Chain A
Amino acid sequence: GENVEQHPSTLSVQEGDSAVIKCTYSDSASNYFPWYKQELGKRPQLIIDIRSNVGEKKDQRIAVTLNKTAKHFSLHITETQPEDSAVYFCAASVTGNQFYFGTGTSLTVIP
């Protein structure tokens, strides 16, 4: 089955700096890669996703890149703000099948 690894497990950045979280996956059939943000005590919320037919997707301060050859994808947050502090999870899925989640990255943005 699929194996998703996520790094780093914790990340602290100064407000205004960029944050990058990386995930690798093992199943070359995976074709959908969402990222979720989970604030303390709340449900995971989808923040951005990418499909295997594109290499990059951007939504304001958030971007995701995908390298299918190397089987890794990354979340980039620019101009970080204190409200970006949360746990971020990556996931990989083959369309129509179960999702495999990374172990999460706890991001702290220091004002």
Chain B
Amino acid sequence: GAGVSQSPSNKVTEKGKDVELRCDPISGHTALYWYRQRLGQGLEFLIYFQGNSAPDKSGLPSDRFSAERTGESVSTLTIQRTQQEDSAVYLCASSPGRERDIQYFGAGTRLSVL
């Protein structure tokens, strides 16, 4: 498809387990963002990738969170030893990059930690 694709759309896991969330950006988009959105809350920045530059990880809430991106393609967000407070929708967005800032959002992954 032409849009940002995220998988899975829903993930239920047990406390303490690791989870991996995937984001396929729009082809050719050099910038990729991960956000967390708790129920009824705003968008919380997690991490930002721009081309081959070092990612901006300043929004990651703890060392249990990490993300990788290979070149300008797929990104994975990994949460280790999940906690109940990690339950949220995780949104990915991509944009064409510098000087062209419009973000296109994926549908999100709804993570529920039991």
Contact = CB atoms under 8 A, between A and B. Distances in A.
Place the interface of chain B in its size category: 20 to 34
A43 B50 CA distance: 22
A98 B108 CA distance: 19
Interface range on chain A (Cβ under 8 Å from partner): 20 to 34
B62 interface: no
B106 A43 contact: yes
B59 A99 contact: no
Interface stretch (B17-25, B38-46, B77-85): B38-46
A82 interface: no
A97 B105 contact: no
Nearest to B6: A43
B9 to A, nearest CB: 11
Given A43-B108, A89-B42, A103-B42, A49 B99 contact: no
Contacts of B41: 103-104
Interface string A82-108: 000000010101011111111110000
Interface of A: 1, 32, 34, 36, 42-46, 49, 89, 91, 93, 95-104
16 contacts: A32-B101, A36-B105, A49-B102, A89-B42, A91-B43, A96-B50, A96-B97, A96-B99, A96-B101, A98-B56, A99-B45, A99-B101, A100-B45, A101-B43, A101-B44, A103-B41
Given A36-B105, A96-B99, 14 more contacts: A1-B58, A32-B101, A34-B101, A34-B103, A44-B91, A46-B102, A98-B58, A99-B45, A99-B101, A101-B42, A102-B42, A103-B41, A103-B42, A104-B41
